[in-house]
Amino acid sequence: MTVRRWGGFAAAAVLLLAACAGPGSEPSGPDSPTSTAPTTSPTTSAPPVTLEQPAVWPAADTVLTTPEAAATAFVETAIGVPAQLGAFMAGDSRSGEIELRFAGESGGTPVVRGTLLLRMLGPDDGWFVIGAVSDGVTIDAPGSGATVPAGMVTITGSARGFEGTVIVEVFRPGQAQPLYRQVAQGGSMADLAPFTATADLSDTTPGETLAIVVRGGTGHEEDPGEVAAIPVVVEG
């Protein structure tokens, strides 16, 4: 009797649950399909790398671990010739200079075409070219590290080059294609003469660093010519 009563009760309970569930209800259990609300993880972007001072080359977020690497990257990318460099000459524990040279096709006595100024900068202590100077090119305006408008900027100085050719370019550090390029007229042979170029920097971003590179023409595709370079910052 006890077994029959329990069996009857259990059967009634099953029928009651089925009736409550209704014809449109889904079964539940470990194998039943479940749905969960989609979740999205918050995305974060690293803040842009800033340097203690503006630099000519490379880009601020590029870390080059030796001064030779920074000098080579500048010469081969911005000037577009094989890098012929002297030895690194340390100024202090974080800075120094490297001569830019050209030995000619015969590999004779190298001619010094300029001096690259280098310094360790940034949170990772990478090496950067912060400028270049030479006897054959000077940049008078704008000054190194100056703020310039995002528009027309006049670049002046004195220079000499083959048949008076002076090449004036503006780069984003680390990018091979210049934002601006003009062939200006300077002095020829041993004589320096004033040059002027007007660069359109309207396609720039406030606060970004640009590199102004001026060099004398040479008539030889692997000769960098005498070089001067400075960084400038677009006004914000």
C-beta of residue 94 within 8 angstroms of C-beta of residue 120 = yes
Residue 6 has pLDDT above 80, yes or no: no
Read off the tokens for 91: 């100024």
pLDDT of residue 147: 98
What are the pLDDT digits (tens) for 206-227?
A: 999 999 999 999 988 999 999 9
Domains recognised in the chain with CATH numbers: 67-234 (2.60.40.10)
Neighbours of 206 (CB within 10 A): 10
Mean pLDDT of 36-42: 54
The model's confidence at residue 25, banded by pLDDT at 50, 70 and 90, is: very low
C-beta of residue 98 within 8 angstroms of C-beta of residue 117 = no
What are the pLDDT digits (tens) for 107-142?
A: 788 999 999 999 999 999 999 999 999 999 999 999
Is the bond preceding residue 142 a cis peptide, omega within 30 degrees? yes
